[in-house]
Amino acid sequence: VLIIACPCALGLATPMSLMVGVGKAAEQGVLIHNGEALQTASNLQVVVLDKTGTITKGKPELTDVESVSGFEAETVLHLAAIADKLSEHPLAQAIVTGARARGLEPNEPDSFNAVPGHGVETDIKGKQVLVGNLKLMQRDKIDVSKLNTMIKRLSGEGKTPMYVAVDGQAAGVVAVADTIKEDSVLAIKTMQEMGLEVVMLTGDNERTAKAIAAQVGIGRVLAEVLPEDKALQVHLLKAESKKVGMVGDGINDA
C-alpha cells in the first residue's frame, strides 16, 4: 500500500514564514536574496564582518598630524589635503575635512592618480606628493624609518595612520580614527554566544586592526586586505569546510 500525503498546514506555513522573515529583515535594512539564503543562514559557522561602516560608523575624522625635521606639520597636512581632494575614499575626505577645520583650504592638485588599496600619487606645484600606506611607500622605495615610531604609536591607539612623502622623502604622518558603533559590541557578543566565530576583515594595517578588534571582542583578524581580495579571503575560510557569511555595507563587500 502506497500512501502519499502533503500536510496543507506545513505546505503553507513554510513559504509564509520565509516570506515574513525576508520582509522583517528588509524593514531593518537587511536585504536577503531569497528564502534559500535565509535557510542557509541558520547553518552558518563563521561570520566575517567588514570593519569600516559595519563595526564602525564609517565616518572617520582627522586626529593627528606629525612631521619629521625639515617639514612643518601644517605643511604636511595641507599637502595631504590637496593630494586627497579628488579622492572619494572616506579616509581621504576625512583629511580634507580636517584640514578645512584647521583653516587650510586645499586647492586641486596639478595631477592625480588613485592607487587602489594603497593611496594617491599627485603633483602639486612641481612637487611629487604621495599619501597612503606602507605598500605605496615601498613601491617607490621611500625610506620611512623616521616615521616608524609615530606609525606604531598611532596604530596601537586604534587609529589609521597614513604616510606622507614629498619628492621621494618621508615628510610626516596624518592619522584618522573611526568611531565604533554603539551596538557593535553587543551584536558581536550575541553572535559568539550563538556559537558563531566572528572574524574582522579590513584593509587597515595589522596593528590598527587588532586594536579595533580588541575593543569589540573579536579574536581573529584579517588585515591589510585589498578590496579585490576580500572575496578570496571568504573563499579561503570556506575551504576550511565552514559555512561562512559576510557582512558589509559597501558595493565592494557585495
Indicate which residues carry an active-site annotation.
Answer: 50
Strands 197-201 and 61-67: unpaired
Give the contacts of 212 (CB within 8 A, at least 6 positions apart). Answer: 51, 55, 56, 158, 180, 200, 202, 204
Give the contacts of 251 (CB within 8 A, at least 6 positions apart). Answer: none
Distances (CA, A) of 24 to 19, 31, 43, 64, 249: 9, 10, 20, 42, 19
User: CA-to-CA distance for 76 and 254, rounded, in angstroms?
Assistant: 36
Closest CA to 131 of 76, 90, 73: 76
Three-class secondary structure of residue 4 per DSSP: coil
Three-class secondary structure of residue 234 per DSSP: helix
Cell of 29: 535594512
**3-state SS of the chain: helix, strand, coil percent to 5?**
40, 25, 35
The DSSP code sequence of 52-85 is IIIIB-S--EEEEEEE-TTS-HHHHHHHHHHHHT
